[in-house]
Amino acid sequence: MSITAEQKGSEQKAAAYTSKARWTPERPRVLVTCCSDGRLQEAIDEFLENYLNICDYDRFYAPGGPGALTPGRYEFLRATQYRDDLAFLIRAHKVEELLLIFHGPAPDGPDEAVCAYYKRILPHTSAGQVRAQQAQDLADLRVYLDDLRLTVRTRAYRAEVLADKRVQFVLMT
């Protein structure tokens, strides 16, 4: 019986793996909230490290990223739970800075770059309308965070996929 390269590879793999990296007891003071969409991962890592000098950070990844934190739509309970989880993390991990990253296409970017979460909650909506909704969601989230009286700095960016597939991070005010 012949053994395929794949079977051979899996046989050689140990059942456990030990990292070279060591766990550190100190917590990062930055929490990054962004969408689960893995197509953006490399660009986001590059932006965090090269532009913001953020290498260690807690993660709050969910479909829609910061957009998942806006109740008032038909997924009210989910958003409320996410808000509670976010507030819990900020308090329990003593987060000092919250970084919110929305995403979608730039005005001349590809339509497939629209966030799948926004496509689900707002079907038949244009990329421009999604962009406007994200700005509104950020405003709502800021009101919520202000009401909690947390001592956390908040910065928000929109990761916009350009026509040439590079990603531009635009500060949202």
Where do contacts with Zn ion occur on this chain (CB under 5 A)?
A: 35, 37, 115
- For Zn ion, the closer of residues 37 and 83 by Cβ is 37
Shortest distance, CB of residue 94 to Zn ion, whole angstroms?
28
Retrieve residue 153's tokens. 């700095």
- For Zn ion, the closer of residues 31 and 67 by Cβ is 67
- For Zn ion, the closer of residues 35 and 141 by Cβ is 35
Alpha helices in the chain (DSSP H): 5-12, 41-46, 76-92, 116-121, 127-148
Of 103, 77, 95, the residue nearest 145 (C-alpha): 95
Shortest distance, CB of residue 38 to Zn ion, whole angstroms?
10
Shortest distance, CB of residue 96 to Zn ion, whole angstroms?
26
- For Zn ion, the closer of residues 9 and 107 by Cβ is 107
Dihedral sign, Cα of residue 110, residue 111, residue 112, residue 116: positive
Shortest distance, CB of residue 103 to Zn ion, whole angstroms?
6
Phi, psi of 157, rounded to the nearest 5 degrees: -135, 160
Strand partners, 33: 60, 100
Dihedral sign, Cα of residue 17, residue 19, residue 23, residue 28: negative
- For Zn ion, the closer of residues 94 and 138 by Cβ is 138
Shortest distance, CB of residue 139 to Zn ion, whole angstroms?
19
> What distance, in Å, lies between the first and last C-alpha atoms of the chain?
64
